[in-house]
Amino acid sequence: MEAINEYKLNVKHVIQYLQMKLLDNPLIMSNSTVSRFLAQNIIDGKGINLIDDTFVRASLRDSSSVIDQVFGEYVHKVWMECTSMLLNFVPVVGSLKAIAEGIVGHDLLTGRQYAWWERAFNIGMGSIALVGEVGLLAVTLKDSRMAVKLSEVATIAGNSAVKAMAEAISKIKAGASDMLEGISKIIKGDGYYEFATPDGMLFRMADEEIPVASRSILDKIADAIRNAINKARAIGITDEAELKRIGENVEQAMKNGSKFTEPTLALGDKPKGVYEAVTGDAEMIRSITRQNEAADFLANEGYNIEMLPYKTNGNGYGVKPSSNPDYLIDGQVFDCYSPKTINLRTIWDTVVGKTENQARRVILNLDDYTGSLDDLAKQFNDWPIDGLDELLVIKDGKIARLFIK
């Protein structure tokens, strides 16, 4: 059965090869209806039946000059043999083997599954595969020229989704500076990357098929996504939907070139500046204590943090001149908020106020928060704050990024 299935796939590739060669013919290309029909067949992974299909018979088979011009006498014979089997891929093993060898040579039977792209264009083995129920179940490309060819076929077929996917592949292969513009999702697998386009097309590329420079960028994005999700788990976020949204947020920010606040110094350091005096009523004392503790924690984790002074008329770093944000971290202004309430709307509203008056980046110290971390993440994911550039969360000796613009 395995051999039969292999031959069925081989014949499918042969048919795709023949259709592609037909599509290269100027007589075919001059007929927009036929060329569009063939192009969509290629994209869908379908064969054509020259015996049963009246449209194809009238448009293609009867035009023997086209077939002879494209294939020559021998390939014409093989083409007719293929169509005599109705292209249903019902295996007649001896005949299929002869057809496969006659069209594409011994490569077909060496154990490495060469797809029609390689056979048609005589290129080496690649490792790009479409994921899911898509016509081209195994697309192998060696260089960006093949993605260009797929783009041309998609253009002829009027299939914008496949065309966009082909262009995305081409940019990745070429290491273009804008290679991520046509990618909505990136997942790092074991030896491959999986990509999604905004149109929902999914495809995979093996590591070795991606240029080193492009792979370096992709690795950074994949690492950032993985680290963000792992750190979110560490502070107590367990909802997979919210973890996914956190990862997607980081991915988009990486594509946008956003500034991520990260540790840049050795562990075990102390914050620069002067601690804010712990005075006032009980709530004020609690809040300032948590603010100072957060500064100690961040410095200990390797963040380059300076505690900003409180001044009556403002310390000069705030969104408003009269405000007094708490920290300067790696050159970015942050304000600290240490809620005790578990009211999510109150916490969200307070962060909004911070971004409007104090700083566009916020440290959320949750050491006194006893509510659900999943619900908190959902609140900020469901209701993004326009003025918020970054939200770092501290909880029980761990830190995570809940949001980055």
Residue 111 region, left (φ>0) first, then alpha (ψ -120 to 50), else beta? Answer: left
CA distance 193 to 198: 17
Give the separation between CA 297 and CA 303, rounded to whole angstroms: 9
The alpha carbon of residue 201 and the mean position of all alpha carbons in its chain are separated, in whole angstroms, by 11
Place of tokens 């490495």: 112
- CA angle (317 as vertex; 316, 323 as ends), nearest 5: 75
Instruction: Supply 265's token pair.
Output: 């110094």
Task: Give 166's contacts (C-beta < 8 A, 6+ positions apart).
Answer: 147, 148, 150, 151, 154
Q: Structural domains in the chain? A: 1-109 (no CATH), 123-210 (no CATH), 272-404 (3.40.1350.120)
Query: pLDDT tens per residue, the chain (405 residues)?
Result: 455 455 455 555 555 556 666 666 666 677 777 778 777 777 766 655 443 444 444 554 444 444 444 444 444 444 444 444 333 333 333 333 333 433 443 333 343 443 433 333 332 222 344 443 333 323 333 344 556 666 776 777 677 877 888 888 888 888 888 888 888 888 888 888 888 888 887 778 888 878 898 999 999 999 999 999 999 999 999 999 999 999 999 999 998 889 999 999 999 999 999 999 999 999 999 999 999 999 999 999 999 999 999 999 999 999 999 999 999 999 999 999 999 999 999 999 999 999 999 999 999 999 999 999 999 999 999 999 999 999 999 999 999 999 999
Cβ atoms within 10 Å, residue 18: 24
Q: Model pTM greater than 0.85?
A: no
